[in-house]
Structure 1
Amino acid sequence: MSLILLTIFLGLAFLGVPLAVALGLGAAATLWYHDLPLSMVTQSMATSINSFLLIAVPLFVLAGHIMERGGLSERIFSAAEACVGRFRGGLGHVNILSSFVFGGISGSSVADIASIGRITIGAMTARNYPRPYSAALTLITSTLATLVPPSILMIVAAAAAGQSVGQALAGGLGPGILLVVALLVYNAVVSKAKGYGTLLPFDPWANLKAIARALPSLGAPVIILTAMFTGIVTPTEAAALAVLYTLGVGFLVHREIALADLPELLIGAGRTAGTVLLILMVASTATYVFTIDMLPSKASSSIMALTTDPRLVLLLMGLIFLAVGMLMDIVAAALMLIPILMPAAIQVGVDPLHFIVFMVAALAMGLATPPVGTCLFATAQVSGVPIERLALAAAPFYLVNIVVLTLIAFVPQVVLWPAQFLT
C-alpha cells in the first residue's frame, strides 16, 4: 500500500502537480485500490486540522509579513550592524545575528530572505564582500528561522507527532544557537583570510542611535519568547501577541503601515499559511495508509538490523532527511517521515523530542539545497546570483551545517536542556 501511495505521489509531483494535491490523490487512490472507505480521507483531514495549536501558524506568518512591511527588519539589521559591524567580517556577523533575531518573530525562512536578505546582500556587496559569498551566507542564515522558535515547521511537526509544541520550540533554541556560533566562527576565519569587508571607524553616538531606533523592533522577540518560555502564554497566544506587537510598532512607532495595507497583509499571510496547513491535512491521510500497512514497524526492523545505537540511528535518519529535504517541500517531507521513522527512533531509545528537533534541523538544510530548495530560488532572485553559482558558493556552509547536525545527534542535551524549562 505504501509503495502505491509513494509511487503515485512522486509521479504526480514530478509532473508538476502541487504537492498537497499529489499526496491527497495518492492516498485516495491507494484506499480505493484496496477497497478501503474513502470517507477516511475527509475524516483524517478534518481531525488533523482541528487543533488550537495550529492557529499559531497563520499568526506567526502574519507577524513576519507585518515586520517586512512595517520597517522592523531594517531596524534590526541596523542595530546588529552597530554592535559588530565594525569588525573584520562584521557585516557577515550582522547577517547571521539579524536573521537569528528576525527568525525569533516570523518563524519563516522565506520571509527572512524577502526582508533582511534584500538589505544584507546589498550592504555586504557595498562593503567589499563578493556577491556570491554574501548571497550564500544569506541563504544559510535564513534557515535559522526554521530552527529557532517560533519555527512554523517545528509547530507543525510537533503537533503531528503528538509532542509538546512549547517544548519542541524551546528545544530548537539550542541547535539554533549552535549553528549561529558555527557560522560566526566560519565567517570570521574566512573574512580574515581573504580580506572580506571594510573596517569602519568606531562611532559610539551613531551606534547608540541605531540601537535606540531599533529598541521597539528588538522588543518583539524578547517579549514573545520570554512570555512563551516562562509559561505566561501558550505558543498560540504568543503568536497572537507577536501580531499585536508588530502591528502596534508598525502603526504607532514606525508609522510605515496604514489601514489600507491590512487586506494585502492578511491575504498574503493566508496564502502562505494555507499552503502549509493544506499539506498537513492531506498528509494525515497518508499517515493512515502507512499505519495500516505497518510501514513504521517495517522501517524499524530495517534500521535496527544495521545498528541499535541511538546516535548512529539518528545519523542514518539524518541522511534520509537530507536526501528527502533536497527533493521535496520540507513540510510535506516532515509529515510523511514522522509516522515512518519516529517509532523506529523511539524503539532504540531516542527521545521523541530530540528526534523532532533533529529532523527539523536536517530538513531546514533542504531549503537551501538544489534542486527544489525554496530559499535557494528566493536568494537567487533577490541577489541576482545564478542558482548553480549560488549553490557552489554555499558548499562550505553546507559542510558547517552537517557538522552541527552531527553534534545535535551525538549530544541530545543540546535539545533537551532548553526544553526542560517548559516541563
Structure 2
Amino acid sequence: MIILLMFLILFFLLVIGVPVAVSLGLASLFFIVVEGIPNIVLLHNMVNGINSFPLIAIPFFILAGHLMNTGGITNRIFDFARSLVGWLPGGLGHVNIGASVVFAGMSGAAVADAGGLGNVEIKAMKDAGYDTDFSVGITAASSTIGPIIPPSLPLVIYGVMADTSIGQLFVAGLIPGLLMAFSLMVMVSWYAKIRNYPKDDHFNIKVLWNTFKRASIPLLTPVIIVGGISTGVFTPTEAAIAAVAYSLFLGLFVYKTLSFQKILKVSQETIETTASILMIVAASTIFAWILTANQFATFFADQLLSFTDNRILILLIITLLILVIGCFMETIAAITILVPVLLPIAIQIGIDPVHFGIILILNLMLGLLTPPVGMVLYVLAKVSDIPFERCVISTAPFLIPLVVVLLLLTFIPSITMWLPTLIYR
C-alpha cells in the first residue's frame, strides 16, 4: 500500500509540474519517513547512485555535441548528405535522414539533433518548396535515430542502471539505427510519389567528392568512438573524452570556428544539462532501492506472469507500458524508474539485457514525438515557428515506420544481437 502511495505521489507531482528529480526525491522521502528508515539512507543511496565511472561519459558526450554544433559542423554534414542522397525523389527528405544518421554518431541525443540540424534542415526544405508539415515531421522522426546509434546518452544511463556492458549496447544500436533510417526513407519516397516532391539535384560524383572532403574530418568522429570501443582501444567513458578532444581540435585548429567565449558558453550549457541529469539519476537511485528492497519487481513479475505466460503477449504488454510512460515522462527519468521493475521480467522470459536496452530506448524515443512531454516537438515548434499542436499532427504519420521497426526489433532479437555476439561473445 505504501509503495502504491509513493507512486501516486510521484505521478501527482509530475503532473503539476514539479521537476522530475524533486518529484522522485519527495516520493522516496515519503516512504522513508513513513517506514521510519534513517534519513542518512536517503543521502547514502543518492551519492552511491552517481558515484559511477561510466557516468563520467555523460558530460563529455554532451560537451562534444555542443562543440560540434557551435563549431559549424552541422552545415558540412548537411551538404555531404545532400550530395549523397539528394538526387532521390523527395531528395531533401532523404538528406534530412542521412544528416541525422551522421550527426547521431556525434551528439547521442535526439533533442541535440533536432536543435542542431533542425534549423538548417527545415529552412532548406521550405526554400525548396516542401510543405512545412512534412519538413517538421521528418525532422522530428529522424532525430530519434540519435540515441540509438552510438554514442548514446540514454544507453549510458541504461547500462549503469542495468549493470550491462555499455560497449555492447553501443554496438547493438548500429543496425537498429540504420533500420530506422531505412524505414523513414521508404516513408519519404511514398510521400514524394503522392505529392510529387522534386529531386534536389542530379547525382554528381564531383560534388559528392568535394562535400565529402569538407565533411571527412568530422565524419571520423563516429569511427573513432565506435571503432575505439569495439576494438578495445578505450572504454565508452574514454571514448567520450576522445570525442571532446577531437571536437576541440576541429573547432580550434582545423576550422577555427571556436573561440574562448564560445567554449565557455558551451561548457556552461554542459554543466547545466549534466547537473539536471545527475540529479535525476541520484534521486531515482533511492527510488529504485526502495522498489528493490521491497521486492516490487518480483511482485510485479509474479502478477504479470500469473496473468499470462505467453512470451509474445508479455513483450506486447511491456512495450505498451513503456510507450505510455514515455508519453508522460522525460527519457532519463523513465529509464531509471522502469529498469529495476521491467528488466527482471525481461530476463525471466529469456530476453538479453542488451536487447532489452535497445527496445526500451526506442520505445522512449517515440515518447519524444508524442504529447504531452514530447521534448523534440517543443524544440521544433520553436525552430519552425509553428504551433505545438501542428507539430504533433505533422509528426504522427512518421510514427508508423518507427513502430514497425520497434516491433521487428522486439520479436526478432537477432537484428539487435548479431553485432554484439559477433564482436564480444
Q: TM-score, normalised by structure 1?
A: 0.97
Please give the secondary structure, in 2, of the residue aligned with 1:350.
coil
| Alignment size in residue pairs | 423
The residue that corresponds to 2:306 in the other structure is 305
Task: Compare 293-302 and 237-246 and name the one that shifted more.
Answer: 293-302
Q: CA deviation at 1:197?
A: 3.2
- Asked if structure 2 preserves the Cα contact closer than 8 Å seen for 1:85 and 1:94, the reply is yes
Which runs of structure 2 are paired with 1:164-243 in the superposition (5 Å)?
164-243=165-244
Deviation at 1:199, TM superposition (A): 4.2
In the alignment, what sits opposite 2:268? 267
**Pairing 1:4-15 to 2, within 5 Å after superposition:** 4-15=5-16
Q: What residue in structure 2 maps to residue 335 of structure 1?
A: 336
1:342-353 aligned at under 5 Å gives the runs: 342-353=343-354
Give the superposition deviation at 1:164: 0.8
Letter in 1 for 2:7: L
**What corresponds to 1:25 in structure 2?**
26
Question: SS state of the match for residue 144, structure 1?
Answer: coil
1:18 aligned partner, one-letter code:
P
CA contact (8 A) 2:170 2:226 kept: no
Partner amino acid, structure 1, of 2:327: M
Question: Could you say which residue in structure 1 is the equivalent of 2:392?
Answer: 391
Shift of 1:135: 0.5
Q: How many Å separate the matches in 2 of 1:210 and 1:266?
A: 30
Deviations 1:121-167 (A, max 9, x none): 11111112101110111001111111111110010011111111111
Does residue 282 of the first structure (1) align with residue 306 of the second (2)?
no
Work out the CA distance in 2 between the residues paired with 1:146 and 1:201: 32
Amino acid at match of 1:412: P
Q: Is the 8 A contact 1:314 1:355 kept in 2?
A: no
Q: Is residue 143 of structure 1 aligned with residue 106 of structure 2?
A: no
Contact 1:327 1:372 in 2 (8 A): yes
Question: Counterpart of 1:338 in structure 2: which amino acid?
Answer: V
Q: 1:307 offset after TM fit, Å?
A: 2.9
**Separation (CA, whole Å) in 1 of partners of 2:348 and 2:34:** 32
Which region of structure 1 is more displaced relative to structure 2, 328-337 or 388-397?
388-397
Of 184-193 and 373-382, deviating more is 184-193
Q: Match of 1:422?
A: 424
- Which stretch has the larger CA shift, 66-75 or 289-298? 289-298
Q: Are 1:231 and 1:422, in contact at CA under 8 Å, matched by a contact in 2?
A: no
**Is the contact between residue 92 and residue 200 of structure 2 (CA under 8 Å) also seen in structure 1?**
no
Which residue is 2:153 aligned to? 152
The 5 A counterparts of 1:63-78 are: 63-78=64-79
What is the CA-CA distance between 1:194 and the residue it aligns to?
A: 1.2
- Aligned equivalents of 1:302 and 1:410: distance in 2? 23
Q: Distance in 2 between matches of 1:278 and 1:291?
A: 20
Per the alignment, in what secondary structure is the counterpart of residue 44 of structure 1? helix
Q: Which residue of 1 aligns with 2:107?
A: 106
Aligned to 2:361: 360
Matched letter for residue 337 of structure 1? L
In 2, are the aligned partners of 1:230 and 1:422 still within 8 Å (CA)?
no
CA contact (8 A) 2:288 2:340 kept: yes
Partner of 1:305: helix, strand, or coil? helix
Give the counterpart letter for 2:296 in structure 1. L
Q: Which residue of 1 aligns with 2:320?
A: 319
Letter paired with 1:367: L
Aligned counterpart, 2:88? 87
CA displacement 1:196-249 (0-9 Å, x = unmatched): 234424444333222211111111112221111221111001101100111111
| Structure 1 Cα separation of the partners of residues 241 and 25 of structure 2 | 31
In structure 2, C-alpha distance between the alignment counterparts of 1:348 and 1:306, rounded to whole Å:
14
> Could you tell me how far apart the structure 2 residues matched to 1:110 and 1:38 are?
36
Shift of 1:87: 2.1
* Corresponding residue SS for 1:87: coil
Q: Over residues 309-354 of structure 1, what are the superposed CA-to-partner deviations in whole Å (9 max), with x where a residue is unaligned?
A: 3333222111011100000111101110111111111111111221
Offset, 1:261? 1.8
Deviation track 1:264-284 (CA, whole Å, cap 9, x = no partner) reads: 111101111221111111101
Cα shift at 1:306: 3.2
Structure 2 gaps of 5+ residues are: none
- Residues 363 and 406 of structure 2 are in contact (CA less than 8 Å); yes or no, is this contact kept in structure 1? yes
Read off the aligned partner of 1:142 and give its amino acid letter. Answer: S
Q: 2: CA distance between counterparts of 1:281 and 1:59?
A: 19
Give me the whole-angstrom Cα distance separating, in 1, the residues matched to 2:312 and 2:171.
21
What does residue 121 of structure 1 align with? 122
Q: How high is the TM-score relative to the length of structure 2?
A: 0.97
Q: Structure 1: which 5+ runs fail to align?
A: none
- Does the 8 A contact of 1:172 with 1:415 survive in 2? yes
The residue aligned with 1:162 is 163
Q: Distance in 2 between matches of 1:261 and 1:153?
A: 26
One-letter code of the match for 1:265? V
Identity of aligned residues (%): 35
Alpha carbons 2:155, 2:361 under 8 Å: kept:
yes
One-letter amino acid of the structure 2 residue matched with residue 227 of structure 1: G
